[in-house]
Structure 1
Amino acid sequence: MHLLVFVLTPLLLCPPGIGGGKVLVFPVDGSHWINMKVLVEELHARGHNITVIVPSDSWYINKNSSYYNSVLMPMRGGYDERFIASFASSLLQIQIEGASFWTQIKMNFEVIVKCSEIHYHVSNMIHEMFQDSRLMQSLQASEYDLVLTDPASGGGVLLAHRLGLPLVLNVRWTSQGEGHFAIAPSPLSYVPFPGSELTDNMSFIERVQNVLIYFLGKAQLAIASYHYTSICQQYFGSDGDLLTLTQGADIWLMRNDFVFEFPRPTMPNVVYMGGFQCKPPKPLPTDLEEFVQRSGEHGVIIMSLGTIFGELPHDITKEIAAAFAQLPQKVIWRHRGKRPASLGNNTLLVKWMPQNDLLGHPKTRAFVAHGGTNGIQEAIYHGVPIVGLPLVFDQPDNLSRMKAKGVAKIVDIATMDRNTFLQAVQEVLHDPSYRIKMQHLSRLHRDQPMKPLDRAMFWIEFVMRHKGAAHLRTESYKMPWYAYHSVDVIVVLFAFVSLVVLCTTAIVKYMCYKIRRRIKVKKE
């Protein structure tokens, strides 16, 4: 009897299981898939059955995997390697021209054109899927428990609503911009709009700047994502625009947290899983470990510019290599392309590196990075200060947050030479405040009652168990803008107060008139 109680008690105390759910995943390729793959593999490890929509131009998404089944689409998803590399290269060339009004105009125009092309291909793929009755019947018959998608494109959101399934978002960005701005109150007085590179402590001029950037950014995003309008009207009616459908998601798994983000309002169905992909370091390959150990007391610097920028323009790499050659530290640099002539004997070029494991190595002293979210979260997790080379997309904004927290030194790639780069690296290496503050962020990030990945899994399975999470979702997204901001209430109250004031004024004037008339009559 005691043995039976011992066995059953843990089972009774645990939340009810779901016996292996079925999840349909509509991903975004590139670095976004790296994040999604972490969730897919963990769901598979917990016994769930995963199916992934794979477009014909898939880049990082394997068509065959032991972790998931694939639904192969014969059309483009708009996000292949060649397109993104060309897009990023164009933006980089514009940025290298230097900061100016016309440079910013050219940058914004390029973003609108290229993002519009991505959304065009995604919306076309969704339209073809909806028109394929056999495919849609097959997806309906599979009886999925939910759709898990990255809303940086609108495809997964539209598919979930078409199938009538609960929706979980793996989100930092939506097709309408940064995730919080789509779901949570975002007062522009202290919530900086993405791209502004401002903090939550703004002067009056900065608040004006923030408001202007907000309206410019919203217009830019609306132009880029208009391709979804016709498909929404065709299948979901006049009220079913993409923003409203996105806001109707059950759970928003945010790929950041308030160690990275500035404090701001949030919502009950927003779950923070910043750093969910981070993990304790594994032993390095033998050759890398030997190279690292040869650094002695000086330690190692690692440099990686993410999945897109394997190499920079040759004149820039020459300056970076020359700066590294003057350092006593060993350098491991993820670099593809021509070997810089100025490369020193202390620098090892590699085409791939175990970034998480190197950041977690006790001899790593600094991380030269472009400011991608994945790399920043890993640097926070392992407590390694950053030398930032922001290139494109959200990278300048990400690094501006790290600079505001005192854990990163930013170098402008448009004006950088070997001396300015060397000075930045040496400042991060020799000023202990960078490492002390980053280690403080690391302790804050790790001091949680539950690991971010476990938290994400709990809420995905929560949606499976309860067929959604409607009780956490505010109905405000169904309100027109004038009702959301109480403009109609203000107008009615203003009209009422105005009526009362007018009536009171009229009565007072009338009484004054009567009094003056009586006085006049008495005098006569």
Structure 2
Amino acid sequence: MESSKVLALYCLGIICLQITVDGSKILLFPNDVGYNSRVMNMLKLGRMLTNAKHQVTCVISDKMREEAMFKLAEGENADLSFNVVSYKTPPVEMRTDNEDLSDLMLNLDMPQLYVIVGAMFFNTLENTLKDKTIVKLAKEDFDLIITDELVFFPRIISANRSIPIILYSNFGTLTFDSDIIPRYSLAFVNGCFNRFSDVMSFFQRLENVWEYLRVKLVLSDAYSAAKVLCRSYGYGKSCDNIREIHKTVNLVLMNRNDVIHYPAPYMPHIVSTEGFFLEKPKPLDAYYKDILKGSETHGIIVVSFGSLFRRLGRKYRTIFAKAFSRMPQTVIWSYEGETPEGLGENTIVNKWIPQTDLLSSPAVKLFVTQCGASSLFEALNNGLPVVGVPFIGDQEYNCLKLAKRVKSAKIVKLNTITSEQLQNAMEEVINNETYRTNARKAATMYHDQLIDPRNKTLYWIEYVIRHKGAQHLRSAGENQLNFFQYYLLDIAGSVVIVIIIALTSVTVIVKALLKCLVNATKLKKA
């Protein structure tokens, strides 16, 4: 009887706790520089919150609504799921050819890429600052702001209206601003999107520090320009939060899991979301069922290079097509550019494929991907061996974690790729059972979690709402320390001064004693 009363009280407490957060007003700000996995994952987060009875307002540009990928992936779901508010963007001249985006970005290192991305941040900030609809929206009373770590305007709203803010890092531990998820020790933590594990040689650590400092310098310039622009619109001290968001953020949600990412220290307000955006596979339609049925002998290979590389220049699309044509498997390629030369009869090309549903099929022998944040977790979730072809950003870093840490992948570098090289890599990963064994082992560990990733993510968001912030999870002391205090240079300096004083004193005393001994010896002889 007593136990039933306890259970009843517990259930009542859970219900009351739920009531306190139901119907909270949440402002959702994806990173709007084109429809990609960052945007897709944040929209999924918005739907999770809507299903949990929250009122979600999502801000996207008018240009986003017109993108073919947005229409294909989202359709009318965005407007049906939550209140969508659009801001105006100036017209730009669109590229009409199919030149390979990788040709433009392949030779850029991360600091150079940051310069390009920084310009995008600035343009997005300017567009939102001058849009009357967004300015009006910013004056409404919201309980919480959830934004991509790359968007500046929500930081201003948060400081101006004293609204708790949560940042979402699609790149996981490697935020663009290293202060948001601090790299506490560059001796074993990657400072940028470097190709290193947590065991680095002297020269790797040297490069790690150098790239880290270069990126900090570039980002500092982007912040300074953004603050000047912000102040010109009359937001005053609220503009300081553009740079100082790491001191005010309540929670950071990062795509990270212990199975695939290297261990590192994190503050309590930095939470691993474990791939919350992964969806349960649905039954395939008749078209794809027939494809799988006709591929029972050798299986299938799924190929996807993410939303940015759905169109490839002649060089790369020909290399890929020829390599795929030589494989005995049926290849299903998510691609919408010009028809590649040398495309084999075994290769099926579609603008949109049910990737999640296909990857869950036991007929899949290999996943060929650029190793973006989403495809990284898809491979991990389904226990699939991978051939990684990284293009830009975090993709090489992700591929290396599959290849070196999980040992379920082989990497083919884009700048030296040939059809033969890609073919050999695919054949090795398919025919060597070790890759699949390692992938399945990692998948088993990934699924062995205390709490479902979606429930975990939702819990922490509602935790911030319930307590109207979570400043107690963030270290105030860390943010108040200056450079010398943070790296204990003041302590080291004090120790050095004490040692110098002690050595000087000992030297003076020894010299004085020696002088006395010499004088005493002279007197004795005299």
Partner of residue 27, structure 2: 24
Partner of residue 465, structure 1: 466
Which runs of structure 2 are paired with 1:74-473 in the superposition (5 Å)? 74-75=88-89, 89-93=100-104, 95=106, 103=107, 107=109, 111-128=113-130, 139-140=138-139, 142-173=140-171, 177-178=175-176, 182-231=180-229, 235=235, 237=237, 240=240, 242-405=242-405, 406-473=407-474
**Structure 2 counterpart SS, 1:148:** strand
CA distance in 1, matches of 2:330, 2:203: 44
**Structure 2 counterpart SS, 1:92:** helix
CA distance in 2, matches of 1:460, 1:82: 38
TM superposition shift of 1:338: 2.4
**Structure 1 counterpart SS, 2:63:** coil
**Structure 2 counterpart SS, 1:256:** coil
Paired residues of 1:44 and 1:68 also in contact (CA < 8 A): yes
Q: Which moved more, 1:260-269 or 1:13-22?
A: 13-22
May I ask how many residue pairs the two structures share in their alignment? 508
- Residue 494, structure 1, aligned to residue 500, structure 2: no
CA distance in 1, matches of 2:16, 2:514: 75
**Structure 2 counterpart SS, 1:120:** helix
TM superposition shift of 1:42: 0.5
TM superposition shift of 1:237: 4.4
Partner of residue 57, structure 1: 63
Q: Which moved more, 1:7-16 or 1:234-243?
A: 234-243
Paired residues of 1:387 and 1:425 also in contact (CA < 8 A): yes
Q: Structure 1's 116 and 280: CA in aligned 2 closer, same or farther, altered over 3 A?
A: closer
**Structure 2 counterpart SS, 1:275:** coil
CA distance in 2, matches of 1:137, 1:400: 45
| Unpaired runs of at least 5, structure 2 | none
TM superposition shift of 1:366: 0.6
**Structure 1 counterpart SS, 2:415:** coil
CA distance in 2, matches of 1:191, 1:92: 30
1:318-368 deviation per Cα after TM superposition (whole angstroms, max 9, x unaligned)? 232222222221111111122234222222111101111111111111111
CA distance in 2, matches of 1:109, 1:264: 23
**Structure 2 counterpart SS, 1:298:** coil
1:383-437 deviation per Cα after TM superposition (whole angstroms, max 9, x unaligned)? 1111111112221221122111211111122332221111111111111111111
1:273-321 deviation per Cα after TM superposition (whole angstroms, max 9, x unaligned)? 1211113321011101111111013111110111121121223222322
1:118-177 deviation per Cα after TM superposition (whole angstroms, max 9, x unaligned)? 122133235436xx6x9657544x321111010123222232122211111111459994
Q: Structure 1's 46 and 175: CA in aligned 2 closer, same or farther, altered over 3 A?
A: closer
TM-score, normalising length from structure 1? 0.88
TM superposition shift of 1:519: 4.0
Partner of residue 40, structure 1: 46
Paired residues of 1:182 and 1:243 also in contact (CA < 8 A): no
Q: Structure 1's 138 and 219: CA in aligned 2 closer, same or farther, altered over 3 A?
A: closer
1:425-476 deviation per Cα after TM superposition (whole angstroms, max 9, x unaligned)? 1111111111111111111111101111111100000000001111110121
TM-score, normalising length from structure 2? 0.87
**Structure 1 counterpart SS, 2:85:** strand
Q: What is the identity, as a one-letter code, of the residue corresponding to 1:280?
A: K
Q: Structure 1's 139 and 523: CA in aligned 2 closer, same or farther, altered over 3 A?
A: same
CA distance in 1, matches of 2:204, 2:121: 32
Partner of residue 99, structure 1: none
Q: Structure 1's 444 and 39: CA in aligned 2 closer, same or farther, altered over 3 A?
A: same
Q: Structure 1's 442 and 14: CA in aligned 2 closer, same or farther, altered over 3 A?
A: farther
**Structure 2 counterpart SS, 1:23:** strand
Paired residues of 2:187 and 2:200 also in contact (CA < 8 A): yes
1:470-523 deviation per Cα after TM superposition (whole angstroms, max 9, x unaligned)? 111012123222221121222233223322332332233234333433443444
Which runs of structure 2 are paired with 1:1-20 in the superposition (5 Å)? 8-12=9-13, 16-17=17-18, 18-20=21-23
**Structure 2 counterpart SS, 1:71:** strand
CA distance in 1, matches of 2:238, 2:12: 48
Paired residues of 1:87 and 1:114 also in contact (CA < 8 A): no
1:13-48 deviation per Cα after TM superposition (whole angstroms, max 9, x unaligned)? 567222321111121132211010111000000000
Q: What is the identity, as a one-letter code, of the residue corresponding to 1:462?
A: Y
Partner of residue 480, structure 1: 482
CA distance in 2, matches of 1:231, 1:338: 41
- Residue 509, structure 1, aligned to residue 511, structure 2: yes
Q: Structure 1's 110 and 487: CA in aligned 2 closer, same or farther, altered over 3 A?
A: closer
CA distance in 1, matches of 2:93, 2:84: 20
RMSD: 3.2
TM superposition shift of 1:108: 5.7
| Unpaired runs of at least 5, structure 1 | 96-102
Q: Structure 1's 113 and 211: CA in aligned 2 closer, same or farther, altered over 3 A?
A: closer
CA distance in 2, matches of 1:432, 1:402: 15
Q: What is the identity, as a one-letter code, of the residue corresponding to 2:24?
A: G
Paired residues of 2:174 and 2:193 also in contact (CA < 8 A): no
Q: Which moved more, 1:43-52 or 1:496-505?
A: 496-505
